[in-house]
């Protein structure tokens, strides 16, 4: 990635040589060096040095096509090609993805599966990296994750060692865990950060009507932490969310509708929102309900003994 001064036609060879002798080898070295010093080394005027630095800075800005950007975005397969399809190829790194739905709709199963799939080689839809799991309700299941790993031919013990888990008992602990996750991302090759569930503690701790604005303020801060985590480390951040009955829709006679907890705060910051619901037997339906670039499509998938499948 580093471009050397000798690769460019901008400077005469002997000037490049003089610079290299002083340890100024790359374009970056040149751009950030003191013009006065560069002038002494090369014999050029300071003015000329500054012009060249300016020119090199301009070369440094590179445009690329959206198509290339799209291909560069790393994704983790969910295990269901139909679900991957509506997500644009899997759960994306660098962004926040929310799975919301009523009890038993498959939220936890999806995030367990992602913890396994992130470990797969890239040809199989993974990132060959590890996961962080912030567990707020004590739902994380080593047995289930082992089973899912085995079903994919991964070593189950290894699969468990590649998932870092912390159990948090309050909003305070949850926010600290998100901070710690930053540090862990620097030390380990992390591709996925899971929060299951995002809102349970917020809901429990700020349950009185008067607490709503404080709850929303802290929730916003927390989601902000998560977005930074996704962008700074290019990891997929995936959280689950509960739903409540949309009272407004019900009173307007629109029937029983569910709405993710956290209202507009989470809605505006979660990049992609997917609503899950039960269908017949092991079948579940996922629907994109909010996303800056994904169309609002539906996909059916199954929760089987092996894990998430078509
Ligand atoms: P949520 O987190 O949305 O409350 P879960 O992700 O825990 O829901 O999904 C629970 C559902 O997953 C159960 O209803 C069951 O149908 C299915 N499930 C869980 N474990 C297994 C398993 N080992 N084999 C098959 N299905 C399972």
End-to-end CA separation in angstroms for the chain: 40
Domain boundaries, the chain: 11-60, 66-309
CATH architecture of 66-309: 3-Layer(aba) Sandwich (3.40)
| % pLDDT > 90, the chain | 70
Mean pLDDT of 141-156: 97
103 CA: nearest ligand 1 atom: 4
Taking Cα atoms as reference points, which of 129, 162, 148 lies closest to residue 235? 129
Can you tell me the distance from the alpha carbon of 69 to that of 54, in angstroms, rounded to the nearest whole number? 27
Q: Using 50, 70 and 90 to split pLDDT, how confident is the model at 6?
A: confident
Residue with CA closest to ligand 1 atom 24: 305
- Residue with CA closest to ligand 1 atom 23: 305
pLDDT at 174 over 60: yes
**pLDDT on residue 206:** 87
Q: Which two tokens stand for residue 158?
A: 């290894």
* ipTM metric: 0.98
pLDDT digits (tens, 9 = 90+) for 62-88: 677 777 766 678 999 999 999 999 999
Asked if 225 and 63 count as a contact pair (C-beta separation under 8 A), the reply is no
- Cα(100) to ligand 1 centroid in Å equals 14
Ligand 1 centroid from CA 144, angstroms = 10
* Position 58 confidence tier, pLDDT thresholds 50, 70, 90: confident
């Amino acid at each position: 990635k580093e471009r050397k001064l000798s690769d460019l036609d901008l400077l005469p060879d002997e000037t490049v040589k003089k610079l290299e002798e002083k340890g100024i080898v790359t374009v970056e070295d040149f751009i950030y060096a003191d013009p006065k010093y560069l002038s002494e080394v090369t014999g050029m005027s300071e003015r000329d040095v500054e012009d060249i630095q300016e020119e090199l800075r301009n070369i440094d800005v590179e445009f690329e096509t959206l198509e290339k950007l799209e291909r560069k975005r790393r994704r983790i397969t969910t295990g269901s090609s139909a679900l991957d399809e509506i997500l644009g190829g899997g759960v994306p790194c660098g962004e926040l993805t929310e799975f919301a739905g009523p009890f038993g709709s498959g939220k936890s199963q999806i995030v367990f599966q992602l913890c396994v799939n992130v470990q797969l080689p890239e040809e199989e839809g993974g990132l060959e990296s590890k996961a962080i799991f912030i567990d707020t309700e004590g739902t994380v299941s080593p047995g289930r994750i082992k089973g899912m790993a085995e079903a994919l031919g991964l070593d189950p013990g290894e699969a468990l060692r590649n998932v870092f888990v912390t159990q948090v008992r309050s909003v305070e602990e949850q926010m600290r865990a998100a901070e710690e996750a930053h540090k862990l991302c620097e030390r380990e090759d992390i591709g996925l950060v899971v929060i299951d569930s995002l809102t349970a503690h917020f809901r429990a701790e700020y349950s009185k009507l008067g607490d709503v604005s404080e709850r929303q303020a802290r929730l916003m801060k927390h989601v902000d932490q998560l977005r930074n985590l996704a962008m700074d480390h290019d990891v997929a951040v995936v959280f689950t969310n509960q739903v409540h009955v949309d009272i407004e829709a019900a009173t307007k006679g629109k029937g029983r509708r569910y709405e993710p907890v956290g209202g507009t705060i989470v809605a505006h910051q979660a990049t992609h929102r997917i609503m899950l619901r039960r269908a017949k037997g092991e079948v579940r339906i996922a629907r994109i309900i909010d996303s800056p670039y994904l169309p609002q499509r539906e996909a059916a998938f199954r929760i089987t003994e092996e894990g998430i499948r078509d």
